[in-house]
A and B are shown apart, each in its own frame.
Chain A
Amino acid sequence: MLTVRNLTVRFDGVTAVDDVSLDLPTGEVLAVLGPSGCGKSTLLRAIAGLEALSSGTVAFDGQDLAGTPTHKRGFALMFQDGQLFPHQSVAANVGYALRLRGTPKASVATRVASLLDLVGLPGHGDRLPVELSGGERQRVALARSLAADPRLLLLDEPLSALDRELRERLAGDLRGILGRAGTTALLVTHDHDEVWTVADRVAVMQAGRILQAGTLDEVWRFPVSGEAALLLGYPTILEGDAARLLARAGDHEDVESVGAIALRRSALRVDEVGRLGGRVLSATLTPDVVRLRVLVEGLGEMHAVAPQDTDVRIDHDVRLRVDMGRTAVLPEPAPARREDPAVR
């Protein structure tokens, strides 16, 4: 069980990690989700003992790690580009931690072979890292991290350097491998897919602070604030009258209590019987749906989707139905209507 309490890391007056507290029960995978520069990598490095804490504590199984240097923490660290040792073969890379401990050669070989099987690379032991593809390198890096049976596996954007298809496949594998090995892992990433496929729990981080933490489902369905909602893939937030107008159109039970609503891109659907009306500003065809920008009466410019076979034309009027399952009512009013097209 990893316990982080009031962890703060400052460099040269900049607070990279600001009063962070986290709990990670043994056997679970926690993802810290945040945009680049939010301090999540620094948090990871601080937990690993690679960054000095300005204040706060990191403890494992109740033992404070303040005086324990990195190499005595019994953790393992895996980076987005693997950071394999280029002068060592795949087998030597995987067996690195075992050799450090003076494990007999024969047992190192057996363990390396079984780990390479586990990550789906049997018989690759004699290759050099340069001879591997990006995905294979990540698998080797994972095997190397698991070899030492770490108490805690720290993963820094483990899959984001890979292309989409490989990332999806490897994310599934990673989940399976971590599950089978029963590993406790902390993952930091900016990638929603990585969180969904690999983690049990998620913490949303912004500007050095944890905004919200909980199970995947809980966090995704009930963002605690507009800030968290933006990071969790709700690009639009409506407040006040606009929020109530939308809630009413979506048949929300208690319209008057609604202060702010966060909307996913697909919260509004083109539907002849929809309650909202608007004019199409632009349309983009994607493999699944047509994505629209619609000027909606009383709400302003909004994202919307239409089934692929609908006939939508720019400057024509459409009716829109609200899919409340694609929205989240926020518990507190956000400061202003915000929109961040960069976050899906």
Chain B
Amino acid sequence: MRGNWGLRLGTVALAVVPVAFLGVFFLLPLSGMLAQGFWVDGSLDLSSLSQTLSRPRVQRVLWFTAWASLTATAVTVVLGVPVAYALYRLDFPGRQSLRALVVMPFVLPTVVVGVAFRTLFAPAGPFGFLGLDGTPVAILAALIFFNLAVVVRTVGGLWEGLDRRREDAAAALGATPWQVLRTVTLPALKPGIVSAATVVFLFCSTAFGVVLTLGGLRYGTVETEIYILTTQFLDLRAAAVLSVVQLFAVVVLLLLAGRTRGGRATALERSGARSSARRPGRRDLPALTVTGLVVLFLGAPLLTLVTRSLRVGDGWGLANYRSLGTTGEGTALLVPVWTALENSLRIAVDATLLALALGLTVAFLVSRPARGHAQRRGKAVLDGLFMLPLGVSAVTIGFGFLITLDEPPLDLRSSPLLVPIAQAMVALPLVVRTLVPVLRSIDPRQRQAAATLGASPLRSLLVVDLPLAWRPALAAAGLAFAVSLGEFGATSFLARSDRPTLPVVIYQLISRPGAENFGTALAASVVLGVVTVSVMGVVERLRVGSMGSF
């Protein structure tokens, strides 16, 4: 029994570290932010809620956030499902490269995507004739561009594993291809579609960088409004109200989605071996057409971004890239762009190590088989707790840091760790979601077998878990690194002006006047995009099925 107690104490001690971290660096800033809004002169004051919500501008922002996110989600799902079919159910040359292309936008920094779409829709840009520059359509397009990867990966992964014979059985019973899709395939894909749609809606409604770069001050979502309220108007109460509204909506949404997903006992019997992708036929034409259009849609902004960055006046050249070593036209920046890249990389390394250490601990604890009801509860709570940062705006976290971590014993305002900690908080849910499915899939009997052969718990961890978990752990590290490189919401608050990251610098460049500054921003975006995509390319080679799954 003593050994057992030791093990239990060890487990509890292990749980304390990440929970404490979450408490200090997530719950504390969050509550600090909330206190700003609702705690007036030592007592609870909810009057700000109705005051803020009755403002016409706030109502406009809420309305815009809701319809823009819903529309973008709907379009993303409608486009993403046929693409998922084409890329995961059909076998044709170039399928792997297309899969990589579809995933790429998801890991691109938001600011880069914003810049890319601005270039695309700018009056002088290739799609300038559409007159969409600065309209909500541009924002919607960018949101869809970003999130298609979520739908294609989640639904495609599920579709690939579906046993084709179930559809064959339905066809043999007299179902037309359309009836098979409607009565057999789509119901089987429903959990994947619902969870992908939930995540897409979440990302759309909390999108920050893209909306800020494309919408300017005219069109804003709740997220950008929180930013503008805090930085421009110093209206912390209204900002706090919006944070609460957002958090509430996110929690409700996640609960609803959880219910829809697990509503009926739809056990997914997956069998990978049996279902081979087949050659496309004539009836796959609609799906292939949609896929072709989506590929164009995904390729156009990236291509425009790269070609414009090489444009100098009326000719071609590397002038924009040469100016990465300067501080911009009219000294728009405090440091050269290359220095900002160096900052970004350093910060990303710290953030990745932090997110990985915490994520591994949480994933390890959550994935252990639970003994008894209380333990199962505990694990579920832990699991849910570490998903929360996904639903809370990065802006809220960033601003919360500023107002709560500003006095001893926790005065981190000038600490170089402040930005990495905030970014680790943002990446943590993704790390946990990547690792948990893999660790859960390990049959506990393997560990038991190791134990009966004389392996200590630590040794069985090394022998059983490690060989299976190192790839996903590396993939999670890459994901965290990419997220950290592109993180803009929290970083825009926290990065010191003399140590900006690359996304911050890009945003500064595009908000200053001057064609030269915009050119430099394009070159910087290309550099940031290339770095992120290279990291993700390496990660993709690890072929971890569950990467970033929800």
Interface of A toward B, CB cutoff 8 Å: 45, 48, 50, 69-79, 81, 83, 85-88, 96-97, 100-101, 128, 130-131, 141, 144-145, 147-148, 150, 154, 156
Chain A residues lying within 8 Å of B172, measured Cβ to Cβ, are 48, 50, 70-71, 73, 75-77, 150, 154
Chain B residues lying within 8 Å of A88, measured Cβ to Cβ, are 187
Chain A residues lying within 8 Å of B176, measured Cβ to Cβ, are 71
CB of B168 within 8 Å of the partner chain: yes
A87 contacts B163, C-beta separation under 8 Å = no
Q: A45-B168, A86-B188, A96-B175 are in contact. List 13 more A-B contacts (CB 8 A).
A: A48-B168, A48-B171, A71-B177, A71-B179, A73-B172, A74-B174, A75-B172, A78-B169, A79-B165, A83-B165, A96-B183, A97-B173, A141-B169
A76 contacts B266, C-beta separation under 8 Å = no
Least Cβ–Cβ distance between B169 and chain A, in angstroms = 5
Chain A residues lying within 8 Å of B132, measured Cβ to Cβ, are none
Least Cβ–Cβ distance between A155 and chain B, in angstroms = 11
What 0/1 readout, one digit per residue, does chain B (160-195) give for beta carbons within 8 Å of chain A? 000101101111111111011001100110100000
CB of B264 within 8 Å of the partner chain: yes
B169 contacts A83, C-beta separation under 8 Å = yes
Number of interface residues of B (CB under 8 A): 26
CB of B314 within 8 Å of the partner chain: no
A88 to B267 alpha-carbon distance, docked (Å): 12
A144 contacts B173, C-beta separation under 8 Å = yes
Chain A residues lying within 8 Å of B180, measured Cβ to Cβ, are 71
What 0/1 readout, one digit per residue, does chain B (238-272) give for beta carbons within 8 Å of chain A? 00000000000000000000000000111111000
**Who on chain B is nearest to A92 by CB?**
B183
A131 to B172 alpha-carbon distance, docked (Å): 25
Which of A85, A101, A147 makes the CB contact (< 8 A) with B166? A85
**Who on chain A is nearest to B190 by CB?**
A87
A148 contacts B174, C-beta separation under 8 Å = yes
Least Cβ–Cβ distance between B536 and chain A, in angstroms = 32
- Say whether, besides A50-B168, A77-B169, A86 and B175 are in contact (CB < 8 Å): no
30 contacts between A and B (CB under 8 A): A48-B171, A48-B172, A50-B171, A50-B172, A70-B168, A71-B173, A71-B176, A72-B174, A73-B172, A76-B173, A83-B163, A83-B166, A85-B184, A86-B266, A86-B268, A87-B187, A87-B188, A87-B266, A96-B183, A97-B174, A100-B174, A100-B179, A128-B264, A130-B267, A131-B265, A141-B169, A145-B173, A147-B173, A148-B174, A150-B172
Chain A residues lying within 8 Å of B165, measured Cβ to Cβ, are 79, 83, 156
A75 to B266 alpha-carbon distance, docked (Å): 28
B267 contacts A85, C-beta separation under 8 Å = no
A100 contacts B267, C-beta separation under 8 Å = no
A72 to B269 alpha-carbon distance, docked (Å): 28
Least Cβ–Cβ distance between B183 and chain A, in angstroms = 7
Chain B residues lying within 8 Å of A75, measured Cβ to Cβ, are 172
8 closest Cβ pairs, A-B complex: A77-B172, A97-B173, A70-B171, A83-B166, A87-B187, A83-B169, A130-B267, A71-B171
Chain A residues lying within 8 Å of B171, measured Cβ to Cβ, are 48, 50, 69-71
A69 to B176 alpha-carbon distance, docked (Å): 9
Least Cβ–Cβ distance between A175 and chain B, in angstroms = 22
A72 to B175 alpha-carbon distance, docked (Å): 8
A142 to B264 alpha-carbon distance, docked (Å): 24
**Who on chain B is nearest to A128 by CB?**
B265
A81 to B165 alpha-carbon distance, docked (Å): 10
Q: Is the interface of B mostly helix, strand, loop or mixed?
A: helix
Least Cβ–Cβ distance between B528 and chain A, in angstroms = 43
**Who on chain B is nearest to A85 by CB?**
B184
B269 contacts A96, C-beta separation under 8 Å = no
What 0/1 readout, one digit per residue, does chain B (214-238) give for beta carbons within 8 Å of chain A? 0000000000000000000000000
A77 to B166 alpha-carbon distance, docked (Å): 10
A83 to B177 alpha-carbon distance, docked (Å): 17
Least Cβ–Cβ distance between B127 and chain A, in angstroms = 42
A85 to B180 alpha-carbon distance, docked (Å): 11
A48 to B165 alpha-carbon distance, docked (Å): 12
A278 to B293 alpha-carbon distance, docked (Å): 77
Q: Which of B173, B177, B264 is most buried by chain A, counting CB atoms within 10 A of its CB?
A: B173
Least Cβ–Cβ distance between B146 and chain A, in angstroms = 31
A83 to B187 alpha-carbon distance, docked (Å): 14
Q: Which of A85, A101, A148 is most buried by chain B, counting CB atoms within 10 A of its CB?
A: A85
Least Cβ–Cβ distance between A336 and chain B, in angstroms = 34
A85 contacts B183, C-beta separation under 8 Å = yes
Least Cβ–Cβ distance between A5 and chain B, in angstroms = 21
Least Cβ–Cβ distance between A221 and chain B, in angstroms = 35
A145 to B168 alpha-carbon distance, docked (Å): 12
A86 contacts B269, C-beta separation under 8 Å = yes
B188 contacts A96, C-beta separation under 8 Å = no
Chain A residues lying within 8 Å of B183, measured Cβ to Cβ, are 85, 96
Least Cβ–Cβ distance between B86 and chain A, in angstroms = 20
Chain A residues lying within 8 Å of B168, measured Cβ to Cβ, are 45, 48, 50, 70, 77, 83
A-facing residues in B351-405 (Cβ within 8 Å): none
Chain B residues lying within 8 Å of A141, measured Cβ to Cβ, are 169
Least Cβ–Cβ distance between B519 and chain A, in angstroms = 50
B174 contacts A71, C-beta separation under 8 Å = yes
Least Cβ–Cβ distance between A136 and chain B, in angstroms = 15
Least Cβ–Cβ distance between B472 and chain A, in angstroms = 28
Chain B residues lying within 8 Å of A97, measured Cβ to Cβ, are 173-174
Chain A residues lying within 8 Å of B266, measured Cβ to Cβ, are 86-87
A156 to B179 alpha-carbon distance, docked (Å): 23
B264 contacts A87, C-beta separation under 8 Å = yes
A50 to B268 alpha-carbon distance, docked (Å): 24
Which of B173, B177, B268 makes the CB contact (< 8 A) with A100? B173
- Say whether, besides A83-B163, A85-B166, A148 and B173 are in contact (CB < 8 Å): yes
A81 to B164 alpha-carbon distance, docked (Å): 13
Least Cβ–Cβ distance between B194 and chain A, in angstroms = 13
A96 to B179 alpha-carbon distance, docked (Å): 11
Chain B residues lying within 8 Å of A45, measured Cβ to Cβ, are 168
- Say whether, besides A45-B168, A79-B165, A86 and B267 are in contact (CB < 8 Å): yes
A50 to B183 alpha-carbon distance, docked (Å): 18
A203 to B170 alpha-carbon distance, docked (Å): 27
Least Cβ–Cβ distance between A37 and chain B, in angstroms = 13
Q: Which of A45, A71, A74 is most buried by chain B, counting CB atoms within 10 A of its CB?
A: A71
Least Cβ–Cβ distance between B485 and chain A, in angstroms = 41
Least Cβ–Cβ distance between A54 and chain B, in angstroms = 13
Chain A residues lying within 8 Å of B169, measured Cβ to Cβ, are 77-79, 83, 141, 144
Chain A residues lying within 8 Å of B267, measured Cβ to Cβ, are 86, 130
A88 to B175 alpha-carbon distance, docked (Å): 16
Chain A residues lying within 8 Å of B264, measured Cβ to Cβ, are 87, 128
A96 to B172 alpha-carbon distance, docked (Å): 11
Q: Which of B168, B169, B266, B268 is most buried by chain A, counting CB atoms within 10 A of its CB?
A: B169
Least Cβ–Cβ distance between B92 and chain A, in angstroms = 14
Chain B residues lying within 8 Å of A85, measured Cβ to Cβ, are 166, 170, 183-184, 187-188
Chain A residues lying within 8 Å of B170, measured Cβ to Cβ, are 85, 96
Least Cβ–Cβ distance between B179 and chain A, in angstroms = 6
A317 to B439 alpha-carbon distance, docked (Å): 58
Least Cβ–Cβ distance between A153 and chain B, in angstroms = 9
A48 to B175 alpha-carbon distance, docked (Å): 13
Least Cβ–Cβ distance between A287 and chain B, in angstroms = 31
Chain A residues lying within 8 Å of B175, measured Cβ to Cβ, are 71, 96, 100
Q: Which of A50, A88, A154 is most buried by chain B, counting CB atoms within 10 A of its CB?
A: A50
A154 to B171 alpha-carbon distance, docked (Å): 13
A-facing residues in B44-87 (Cβ within 8 Å): none
Chain A residues lying within 8 Å of B190, measured Cβ to Cβ, are 87
Least Cβ–Cβ distance between A288 and chain B, in angstroms = 35
A154 to B169 alpha-carbon distance, docked (Å): 10
Least Cβ–Cβ distance between B170 and chain A, in angstroms = 7
Least Cβ–Cβ distance between B307 and chain A, in angstroms = 40
**Who on chain A is nearest to B283 by CB?**
A69
B174 contacts A101, C-beta separation under 8 Å = yes
What 0/1 readout, one digit per residue, does chain B (189-216) give for beta carbons within 8 Å of chain A? 0100000000000000000000000000
